[in-house]
Every structure is written in C-alpha cells, then in structure tokens.
Structure 1
C-alpha cells in the first residue's frame, strides 16, 4: 500500500525531473541556436558572396552525359544479356510466353500494350505508342514515373549504360 507521503515524493520527483529537462532544453537552445528569431523563422544570410554568372551559372553547368544514341552505338550485347537477369523473373523471351509480365520477344519498336492475352495495368498505352529505344529507356529507368499506376514492381535501372546494354540485347531477340 502507498501512503500519501510516498505518492507526494514520487510526484514531486517527476515534476522536478520534467522541470530540469525543460530548463536544460531552453539553455541548450539559447546557446546553440543558429536560426532566426524564432523556431519558424528562417535565418537571414549574414553576407552574400557574388560570383560571375550569378544564379544562371549553376544551371548552365548541369552535367550531361552521352546521349542514348551514343550509348546504344557503344552498347555491349553480352552485358545486356547479363542485365536481363534482373528481368527474367517476370518476363520471358519466347514469343507468346507471358509470365507475370508480357513476353519481350521483339519488344523493341513493338506497339505498346499489344501482347495478346496479357492484361496491362496503369497508363501504359496512354504514355507511348511504341516501345522505341527512347521509351524503353525511360520506362526501364523508372517504370512508375513513366507509366503511373503500373503494377510493375521493378524499381528501375539507374545507370544509362546498363539500360543501353539491355535495350541492345532486347533488339537481338527477334
């Protein structure tokens, strides 16, 4: 059984601990605060360093790599076959052999959504007419961004060289 004195001491200890915690947070905030006047305010810059070209210089220097055409011209079909290993869990290369995804036999320059007997999802047909190398590149990079609502669970292939190798390999499957 608890007596009143023990309960009062426990409650006092809790309130004292909370008070020390709040005071400590307030002191730390005032010592180490780097923002503006309040929590929601943005800090103003103390000084500005002017550079040649102003704000437009950063946008002009955006790094650009080789074009898709250049990547396809230098593509390695053998590396593309290796890259296909990420696809073969859901896609088959034999004509008419649908799996979780449609077959990829002759997919390059084939009409989008044209495989008989496969139920496509999302806006696939609305975003492209044919599986041109450019459309394949964009789809393989990020399927959900290219065709919102697609059920394809693949997160995408980020490296342009890998995508070009894969597309070059798929062009050989006729």
Structure 2
C-alpha cells in the first residue's frame, strides 16, 4: 500500500541529496588537485607582425569603365530584375532601364516617378548612375527605391557597361 508523501518531506529529501552532492564534490577537490607545473605545458609563440602590404590604389571612374565587362554586368543586373526590366518600354516596380545611359532622369513617359526622382534634373550619365547605384537613398533622399546599393565599384561599372550595350 502506498503512503501519501508530503511536500515538505520531498523538499527535505531533495535538499539533503543536494547538500550531500556538494559535500562530496568539495571533499573530492581536496584529494584530487592537479599538481603545479614547473613550466607551462605549452608555449604561446608570438608571431611577428606582418609588414603591411601596399594599399591598393583606388581606380578612377574612367579606369573602372575601361575595365568594365558587359557580360559580368548582365549577371550583376540579376539583382535589379526584381524591380527593373532591361527591355524597351517594359516597366515593373521601377522604370525600364533600356537606354538609360544618356537619357533624361525621368524620361519614361508611362512611369509614375516618386516626388524625389521627379525633382531631379539632368541626364543619367554613366558617372551619375555609378554614384546612384552605390547608395540610391543617400544620393536621392526620399526615393521610393529600396535597394541598398551595389558596394563593389567594379560591379557598378559592369552594370553600366551592360545597360549601355542594350541600345545603339
């Protein structure tokens, strides 16, 4: 027959077991201490600092464009395809980028530009596109474009070369 065990008896038994465990652990620590070593078991070898490499010289915009590869730019443009198309007259969330190099900033007639973009003047020169796609929201504050930008300067040059190759 089972007896009913009270909560206080269970709590007392648990506390006693915990106390016994702690005492055995402490006693074992007195008997089993590691010996002190005369010298370290391993030696940390400090490496001599490397001589700093010559910093790469930053290429100018013109030099980057001279090295630009339209085929590589087409691959990078895949990041843009969620909002833009490269076909003439085909808009998506963003305007068609067919013929964008050299055209006026808000020249796509059947596209509704944000107020920030509509307020821009001038043309999309290769250099202006290069700066814009690096950080669109920094270059045109208030733009509806949510893309963070292409950080790699050569990727930007390659995309511009690709876009420029689309039209005559």
Distance 1:124 1:78 in 2: 29
Residue of structure 1 equivalent to 2:146: 153
If you compute each CA radius of gyration, which structure gives the higher value, 1 or 2? 2
Distance 2:144 2:76 in 1: 21
Q: Does 2:60 align with 1:71?
A: no
Query: Which whole-Å deviations, capped at 9, do the CAs of 1:31-85 have from their partners, x for residues lacking one?
Result: xxxxxxxxxxxxxxxxxxxxxxxxxxxxxxx986111111001111111000000
Q: Does 2:150 align with 1:136?
A: no
RMSD: 1.7
Deviation of the 1:152 alpha carbon: 0.5
Query: Would you tell me which structure has more helix in proportion to its own residues?
Result: 1
Counterpart secondary structure, 1:141: coil
Q: Does 2:86 align with 1:99?
A: no
Contact kept, 8 Å, 2:105 with 2:120, in 1: the verdict is no
Counterpart secondary structure, 2:155: helix
Counterpart secondary structure, 1:82: helix
Contact kept, 8 Å, 2:74 with 2:162, in 1: the verdict is yes
Distance 2:137 2:82 in 1: 18
Q: Give the TM-score normalised by the residue count of structure 1.
A: 0.61
Contact kept, 8 Å, 1:128 with 1:135, in 2: the verdict is no
Contact kept, 8 Å, 1:122 with 1:147, in 2: the verdict is no
Q: Does 2:101 align with 1:108?
A: yes
Residue of structure 2 equivalent to 1:124: 117
Q: Give the TM-score normalised by the residue count of structure 2.
A: 0.64
